[in-house]
């Protein structure tokens, strides 16, 4: 049987089911098997690997994963695609489709009930642009027992996630992702390999989960608040952002003390601070604010 991810086969499946794309679900189906091979190579899937996929569409990526992996669990929100997937993936009994919004799913429970204990698990997906960040943050923040995440996402978002301090792409998303994982942009993917064709290019991003974060912080939740506040207005200094978005003008003295204690110039901007500096700042703020 011909691969799903070819223009002719995709067209045939869409016509057979009279499928109409829903703009609200950000549906763009891949029609290039070479790109799919590269995604799967990046994920280093073996016959022992369990894979979680999000948004299988008509099964183009799912089919290629299924040829390599031991078990695949795929979350699909669009009910109209369930009969299509049942048909296109019928040669792969080790693929399970779950009709659910992945953002509402209990992924820990799914992993426990689906995969073997201590199994090598990867998340591999072609993510809809409009929910890329919430899905990635859910996967990272829930500290799932996974080796990593390989996703096709908007090129600009991939660059932001993998960005280094001091670059215009670097921001709170870079820090949040890099706290949990090592981030690396694998390749840029042109808009021409999708149906319908998106307005922007995509990229394959690989996140390798860290055994533990690269910095230790006293309060993880507060650390996240600190760097989010620091980027609230990119043109403002770190001092102004912390006053207006984290604490208040009444706490200016304590914030200045914390910055001095962390050896950070209050005139610097958030995008110049490294992960280590944010960790130091977060702990210093906690101790200075608690003292007063």
Specify burial of residue 206 (Cβ count, 10 A radius: 0-12, 13-18, 19+): buried
Three-state DSSP at 50 gives strand
Q: How far apart are CA 262 and CA 282, in angstroms?
A: 9
| Residue 90 to residue 9: CA distance in whole angstroms | 16
Cα separations (Å) of 153 from 26, 32, 157, 161, 233?
Answer: 11, 16, 7, 11, 25
**CA nearest neighbour of 48 among 115, 110, 109:** 115
Is 28 assigned to a binding site?
yes
Q: Would you list the DSSP string of 113-139?
A: HHS-TT--EEEEEE--GGGHHHHHHHH
- Binding residue per annotation — 76? yes
* Two structure tokens written together for 193: 């390999």
Inter-residue contact 23 to 32 (CB < 8 Å): no
- Taking CA 222 as the corner, what is the angle to CA 181 and CA 170, rounded to the nearest 5 degrees? 45
- Whether residue 55 is annotated as binding a ligand: the answer is yes
What does the alpha-carbon distance between residue 155 and residue 172 come to, in Å, rounded to a whole number? 17
30 is in an annotated binding site: yes
Known binding-site positions for S-adenosyl-L-methionine: 28, 30, 55, 76, 101, 126
Binding residues: 28, 30, 55, 76, 101, 126
């Amino acid at each position: 049987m011909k691969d799903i991810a070819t223009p002719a086969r995709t067209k045939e499946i869409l016509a057979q089911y009279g499928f109409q794309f829903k703009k609200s679900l950000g549906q763009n189906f891949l029609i290039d098997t070479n790109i799919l091979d590269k995604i799967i190579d990046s994920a280093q899937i073996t016959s022992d690997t369990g894979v979680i996929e999000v948004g299988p569409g008509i099964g183009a990526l799912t089919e290629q994963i299924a040829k390599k992996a031991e078990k695949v669990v795929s979350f699909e929100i669009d009910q109209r695609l369930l009969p299509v997937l049942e048909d296109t993936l019928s040669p792969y009994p080790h693929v399970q489709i779950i009709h659910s919004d992945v953002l509402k799913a209990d992924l820990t429970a799914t992993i426990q009930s689906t995969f073997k204990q201590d199994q090598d698990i990867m998340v591999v997906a072609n993510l809809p642009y409009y929910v890329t960040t919430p899905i990635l943050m859910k996967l990272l923040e829930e500290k799932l027992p996974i080796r990593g995440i390989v996703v096709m996402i908007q090129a600009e978002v991939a660059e932001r996630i993998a960005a280094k301090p001091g670059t215009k792409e670097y921001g709170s998303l870079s820090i949040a992702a890099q706290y949990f994982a090592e981030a690396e942009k694998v390749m840029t993917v042109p808009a021409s390999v999708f149906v319908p064709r998106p307005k922007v290019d995509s990229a394959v991003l690989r996140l390798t989960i860290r055994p533990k974060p690269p910095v230790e912080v006293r309060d993880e939740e507060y650390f996240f608040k600190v760097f989010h506040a620091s980027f609230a207005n990119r043109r403002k200094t770190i001092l102004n952002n912390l006053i207006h978005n984290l604490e208040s003008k009444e706490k200016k003295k304590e914030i200045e003390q914390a910055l001095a204690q962390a050896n950070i110039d209050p005139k610097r901007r958030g995008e110049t601070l490294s992960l280590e500096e944010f960790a130091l700042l977060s702990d210093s703020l906690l101790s200075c604010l608690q003292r007063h």
